[in-house]
Amino acid sequence: MMVFSETLQKFKSGLAKTRDSLFGKVTQLVRSKSVIDEEMLERLEEILISADVGVGTTMVILDNIKNRVKQERYESSEQLSVLLKDEIGRLLQANGGAPANGIRLPDSVRPYVVMVVGVNGVGKTTTIGKLAHNFRSAGLKVVVGAADTFRAAANEQLEIWAQRAGVEMIQQSRGADPAAVAFDSLSSAIAKQADVVIIDTAGRLHTKINLMDELKKIKRVLDKRMPGAPHEVLLVLDATTGQNTLQQVRQFTTAVEVTGLVLTKLDGTAKGGVVLAISNELKIPVRFIGVGEQIDDLQPFDRRAFVNALFESSPTESP
């Protein structure tokens, strides 16, 4: 079943920053010249790199555009944005997966176990609050497990979100073994016949071996309690982070086999280009994007809607 209803308007407005700064510039660029030339491509390079697309991915996009300009004899600058839209759409397509993402709960698996991981300060707990709210609104019984036992007041923070979402939270005292909390949460969810369990974990830098080992242990313990769990490992990424994002995706995937990504803080940043870098270099689907601070500001990531939203001219621009 598909839990998240798509509110396209919100999706679009959340991406307004990315669209205005990144693609607004492309529009300007296109208007400034009449033919596609080296200088224009160099400016395009600047626009892409400045949006955190990354050097490697930018080169792939530019090379493809150059080849097509040559082979298909494009000349007029207005065709540049068409070409760019094509290339970006293709990059995201190569990423595979269904056109609309989000989480689909198979009917046969109860409880469905979601483990949430990420580095410090990316918005894991907030994302869990929003996820729980979404599941709850869809009429599902949700349990959240407070397995961030390291950070001061992490429990309190999650508790407030749990209350807002109207779901139950399982916790132990600060400093407790996070794997034990995860185990307890899952046991409790099974006993209560919950539909979904979301396990929060402490933020950790992907370079800390001992902390990554701790994460592996949490995952092992979940699998022990319920073979096959966790069914989804969500890695939360901060959209304002630069190329280190790729490193985070790689390291967390090596440790706990990440199955989906959540990109937060997309409303505040002028970027979002990192989505392209992820698609180009790694094959993990983006499940959700966070576009605001409200509890319903977590949106399923829709590749087509994303590309369209980026290229649609904003209200302030003349058509």
Q: Does 49 bind other proteins (CB under 8 A)?
A: yes
Find the binder of other proteins among 119, 189, 222, 263 (CB under 8 A): 119
Q: Give the shortest CB-263-to-other proteins separation in angstroms.
A: 12
Q: Which helix (H) or strand (E) holds 240?
A: none
Of the candidate spans 101-109, 135-143, 270-278, 305-313, the one that interacts with other proteins by CB under 8 A turns out to be 270-278
Q: Give CA–CA dist 74/36, Å, rounded.
A: 8
Q: Give the shortest CB-62-to-other proteins separation in angstroms.
A: 14
Residues between 147 and 206 with contacts to other proteins, criterion CB under 8 A: 150-154, 156-157, 159-161, 174, 205-206
Q: Does 269 bind other proteins (CB under 8 A)?
A: yes
Residues between 13 and 42 with contacts to other proteins, criterion CB under 8 A: 17
| Cβ nearer to other proteins, comparing 183 with 201 | 201
Q: How many residues bind other proteins (CB under 8 A)?
A: 45
Of the candidate spans 52-60, 72-80, 85-93, 308-316, the one that interacts with other proteins by CB under 8 A turns out to be 52-60
Beta bridge partners of 147: 201
Of the candidate spans 72-80, 266-274, 280-288, 309-317, the one that interacts with other proteins by CB under 8 A turns out to be 266-274
| Cβ nearer to other proteins, comparing 175 with 319 | 175
312-317 LR contacts (CB < 8 Å, sep 24+): 312/12, 312/19, 313/27, 314/16, 314/19, 314/20, 314/24, 316/20, 317/24, 317/27
Q: Does 267 bind other proteins (CB under 8 A)?
A: yes
Q: Give CA–CA dist 81/79, Å, rounded.
A: 6
41: CB partners within 8 A, 6+ apart: 62, 65, 66
Side chain identity, residue 209: I
Rounded to 5 degrees, what angle do the CA atoms 312, 315, 319 make?
Answer: 65
Two structure tokens written together for 258: 């990440």
Find the binder of other proteins among 71, 108, 209, 227 (CB under 8 A): 209
Q: Does 52 bind other proteins (CB under 8 A)?
A: yes
Q: Which helix (H) or strand (E) holds 41?
A: helix 38-50
Q: Which helix (H) or strand (E) holds 260?
A: strand 260-264
Q: Give CA–CA dist 85/107, Å, rounded.
A: 37
Find the binder of other proteins among 120, 294, 313, 314 (CB under 8 A): 120
Q: Give the shortest CB-280-to-other proteins separation in angstroms.
A: 14
- Of 53, 23, 92, nearest in space to 279 by CA: 92
Q: Which residues bind other proteins (CB under 8 A)?
A: 17, 46, 49-52, 54-55, 119-123, 150-154, 156-157, 159-161, 174, 205-210, 238, 240-245, 247, 265, 267-271, 274
